[in-house]
Structures are given as C-alpha cells and as structure tokens.
C-alpha cells in the first residue's frame, strides 16, 4: 500500500505532513495527517503511534490546525496520525444533505444498509487498513498504539478499543458521544447506516460494549467540558458509560470535568497536552 506526500511543514523541530492514498476499504481517495517527531527525523528512532479521530463536519485538517498537539508530540516522541471522518466524493444520493450524516459523519462504524454499505466502512478503515498502511510506510512500533478522539471521534476511539482488545495500549476521549443508541445524533446515524435493528446498534455503542467487555484490562480516560451545550442537550451521555464501566471489573475509568469549557477546539487545545502526556506514559 503506497502513500503520496501532499505537504510537509516544519513544526516544533518535527514535520507536520499530509498524505493521500487510495483506500480499498472505502473505495475512494483518502487523506490523513501525520506528525513526525524529531526523534524520528534526527535520531532515526522508531516511535509509538497515536491515532486521533475527529468529530462531525471535520476533515483531517481541523485537528492539525487548531489543537496545538505538535509541540507535545514532539516533546514525547510520538508519531500522530489523524484520518478523515468519512469517505469523500462518492456521489451517493443524500451524502451531503446534512452535517450529521453522510460526508463528514462516518461515525467510525461499518454500515450495513444500502447505499452506504459499500463504502462507509470507517471502522475497518481505522482499525485495519490505515494501521497496516502506517505500519508498512512509517517508522512506528507496531505494538505501541494509542487512540483518542473528540465527540463523534471520541465515540470512535472508544468503540475501536472496546471491540479490539489488545489493539491499543492507551485510550482517551474528549467529550465523546458515549451512548449513541440513546441520543439524537446516534439514532439518526445508526438508523441510516445500520437499519432498524436496535440490537445491531448496540454493537457500535461504547456504553453497551462496556457492559460486556471481557478482554485485557483497559483504562478509559474520559474528558468533558462542563459548559458543553451538547452535554446539556443529552447528545453525549458520559454518565451512562461511566456507570456501565463501573460494573465491569475489566474496565477502569478516569473522568475529568473541565469547569467553564465547551465543545470547541479551544477546549481541546487547552488539554491536548495532558492527553498526549497520558498516552506517552503508557506507550513509552
């Protein structure tokens, strides 16, 4: 699997790069960001890799431009990879009709319902094809992977870890959609991508996955702004995930509430350093 370098900019003695490749899983050209730390560029050291999944309406660019993560990835010697949030330019009827379904809103699940099933396979893309691509083309340590994300991407990070015991050694989430079966965003997406079977929906819901998780011990670092409008509107429901995890001996949680912070990238930029330090401690 080959990649094409689109751009590279020096940043905190590392390089922020953007690549493209053709995804066989998604059936389209995809872009992803990759931060290469100075440990690789200057010392030729293979490094752990940290995957970041973005939220609704985002592309690969939002996290790169707004989070300020590069200074921390440079400091801790992590390669950071951030893919797009959905397939692009497929010309599926309805893919651009709303912000919370279709383009920019893949929800990191594998669609079962037509016409989405052929291409909207974001779970397989993130956990399999993209991982193989990164392992084959970049100097990562394949056994040292972390994953985190924001909102829809926080949901993605959680389900990727809970459905693949042992694949990731560290997991965190900013304001995740923690119980999508019970919130309007999740109900719209799951009905559209999966159909009407709500038992099938539960296979892609972190709260339900947490109730039956039986893999290796896992710690989930959940971060939430207290002034997040989507928290108040019951789109996120972290309390349901925390309750489910508390009843499972295989899971531990860290839950941090951030007084005065909302759902925006100002919030993420304020705490991304803490998250990257958390991942670095577990990965290094």
* 8 A C-beta contact, residue 33 and residue 8: no
DSSP string, 164-178: STTT-SEEEEES---
Catalytic residue among 84, 228, 275, 279: 228
DSSP at 263: S
User: Would residue 279 show up in a list of annotated catalytic residues for this protein?
Assistant: no
Report residue 86 as tokens: 């959905």
CA nearest to 225, candidates 264, 184, 171:
264
User: Would residue 228 show up in a list of annotated catalytic residues for this protein?
Assistant: yes
Catalytic residue among 155, 263, 275, 279: 263
Distance (Å, rounded) from C-alpha 49 to C-alpha 36?
Answer: 10
Distance (Å, rounded) from C-alpha 136 to C-alpha 1?
Answer: 8
Q: Is the dihedral of CA 128, 131, 137, 142 positive or negative?
A: negative
Report residue 232 as tokens: 């108040």
Which residues lie across from 36 on neighbouring strands? 15
Catalytic residue among 151, 205, 223, 279: 151
User: Would residue 151 show up in a list of annotated catalytic residues for this protein?
Assistant: yes
The residues that are catalytic are: 151, 228, 263
């Amino acid at each position: 699997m080959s990649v094409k370098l689109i751009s590279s900019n020096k940043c905190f003695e590392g390089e922020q790069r953007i690549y493209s490749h053709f995804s066989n899983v998604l059936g389209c050209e995809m872009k992803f960001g990759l931060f290469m730390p100075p440990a690789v560029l200057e010392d030729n050291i293979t490094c752990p890799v940290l995957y970041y999944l973005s939220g609704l309406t985002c592309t690969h660019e939002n996290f790169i431009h707004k989070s300020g993560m590069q200074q921390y990835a440079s400091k801790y010697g992590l390669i950071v990879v951030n893919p797009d949030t959905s397939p692009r330019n497929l010309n599926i009827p309805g893919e651009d009709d709303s912000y919370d379904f279709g383009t920019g809103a893949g929800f990191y699940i594998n669609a079962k319902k037509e016409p989405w099933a052929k291409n909207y396979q974001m779970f397989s893309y993130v956990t399999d094809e993209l991982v193989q691509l990164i392992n084959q083309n970049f100097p990562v340590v394949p056994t040292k992977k972390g994953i985190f994300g924001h909102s829809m991407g926080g949901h993605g990070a959680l389900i990727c870890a809970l459905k693949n015991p042992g694949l990731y050694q560290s997991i965190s989430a900013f304001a995740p959609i923690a119980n999508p079966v019970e919130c309007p965003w999740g109900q719209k997406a799951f009905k559209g991508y999966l159909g009407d079977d709500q038992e099938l929906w539960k296979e892609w819901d972190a709260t339900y996955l947490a109730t039956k998780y039986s893999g290796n011990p896992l710690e989930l670092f959940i971060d939430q702004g207290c002034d997040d409008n989507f928290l108040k509107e019951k789109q996120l429901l972290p309390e349901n995930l925390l309750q489910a995890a508390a009843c499972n001996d295989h899971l531990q949680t860290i839950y941090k509430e951030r007084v005065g912070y909302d759902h925006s990238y100002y919030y993420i930029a304020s705490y991304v350093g803490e998250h990257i330090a958390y991942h670095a401690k577990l990965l290094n």
